[in-house]
Amino acid sequence: MSIANLLEQYREALKTAGADSVFESWSCFEPATDDELAAIAEAAGAELPGELKTWLKTNRNALNFMGNYGANDPKRIAEGIRGTREIDFSRHFANVTSWGDGRFDDGRLARTYWQPQWVPLAQDGCGNEYCYDLAPGPNGRVGQIIAMEFQDGQGPYLARWSGLEDMLRAHLSALANGAYGFSEPGFIEFD
């Protein structure tokens, strides 16, 4: 099934579940234009795969994702990536690798704290992001989802989903199985 179809199914499932906040005017935005896609690709320094373009050209809501993340407005993505290019993350990377937690050991994740080729799809209230990986490690794959934990300098991890389709299917399954609640009316939280 296509990313566009899965996004539509997910929007409908959120409506059915009562996640009304996703559809309020302050939670809606215009899908990406071709110029915005070009700006994101330029900022990332990489070509955007078709499924990522479809995501950005189709999504129009700050959709909720596990961990209280909301989908990013594509108009802000290129600016956000450009803003990270001037930050020296070497100290953070040295700190993260000193933990020896194995996150880089299998070679799927690039050995870095941050790179512009991680396109932020969604963000939580602390600035942590789910990113689409355009430059994986030697054993990784383009399109894997990175959980970038800026808060407390925790750095990157591979997310629990292998890619966009897996991410959307997992959320559809959570909704179908009732694995969610509400922090207040209309504001869904996944278990």
Q: Note the pLDDT tens digit of each residue in 17-73.
A: 999 999 999 999 999 999 999 999 999 999 999 999 999 999 999 999 999 999 999
Cβ atoms of residues 158 and 146 within 8 Å: yes
In terms of C-beta density within 10 A (0-12 exposed, 13-18 middle, 19 or more buried), how is residue 102 classed?
Answer: exposed
Residue 4, token pair as written in the block:
């566009």
Start-end of H helices in 59-117: 74-84, 90-98
pLDDT at 18: 96
Long-range CB contacts (within 8 A, 24+) of 83-86: 84/114, 84/116, 85/116
Residue-level pLDDT at 94: 82
Instruction: With cut-offs at 50, 70 and 90, classify the pLDDT of residue 8.
Output: very high
* Beta-carbon contacts of residue 18 (< 8 Å; ≥ 6 apart): 182, 185, 186, 188
Phi-psi region of 118 (alpha: psi -120 to 50; beta: other; left: phi over 0): beta
Question: What is the chain's mean pLDDT, rounded?
Answer: 93
Backbone angles phi, psi at 80, to 5 degrees: -65, -45
**How do residues 120-178 score in pLDDT, each as one tens digit?**
999 999 999 999 999 999 999 999 999 999 887 788 999 999 999 999 999 999 999 99
The pairing of strands 145-149 and 187-190 is: unpaired
CATH 3.40.50 fits domain 3-179:
no
pLDDT at 10 over 90: yes
User: Contact 77/55 with Cβ under 8 angstroms?
Assistant: no
* Residue 168, CA distances (Å) to 2, 54, 71, 113, 181 in order: 11, 13, 12, 26, 18
What's the pLDDT score for residue 67? 93
Alpha carbon distance 55, 49 (integer Å): 10
Q: How far apart are alpha carbons 146 and 132 in whole angstroms?
A: 6
Q: What is the pTM assigned to this prediction?
A: 0.94
Query: Which pLDDT score is estimated for 62?
Result: 94
